Amino acid sequence: MSIKRRIIELLRAGDFLTAHEIIDVLGLDCDERCVYKHLRHVARSVWRCSGGRERLVMRLPYCRRCGYVFTNLEEPWKPSKCPRCGSRLIEPQRSL
Ligand SMILES: [Zn+2]
């Protein structure tokens, strides 16, 4: 099964997961950046294969210090720093 396929099955099964959790659960041999790349493909193919009825849902990342939410997020990735307070304590984006 391809990594993309396995990610789709995993996300279908249940919980919102961070890139890091996806790596853990699937035992993937790649880093978070690589998972985000896969997630972008997953998002596209889920959308396409279902004729628009199904989509990858993202819970947006937010700052753990001031609560700033990264709403300008088009695609899965991990912001490194909060634009409002400069904190690096960013709760990562989760996918379902
Ligand atoms: Zn902040």
**What's the rounded Cα separation, in Å, for the pair 33 and 13?**
23
What DSSP character marks residue 14? S
What's the domain count of the chain? Answer: 1
CA of 64 to the centre of ligand 1 (A): 7
Q: What are the backbone angles phi and psi of residue 17, rounded to the nearest 5°? A: -125, 145
Domain-embedded: residue 16: yes
Token pair belonging to 45: 């193919």
CA of 16 to the centre of ligand 1 (A): 22
Domain-embedded: residue 69: no
Q: What is the mean pLDDT of the chain?
A: 86
Domain-embedded: residue 88: no
**Of residues 83 and 16, which shows the higher confidence score?**
83
pLDDT tens-digit series, residues 34-65: 898 898 889 888 889 889 888 888 788 899 99
CA of 43 to the centre of ligand 1 (A): 27
CA of 60 to the centre of ligand 1 (A): 14
CA of 62 to the centre of ligand 1 (A): 8
Helix runs in the chain, H state only: 3-13, 19-26, 32-49
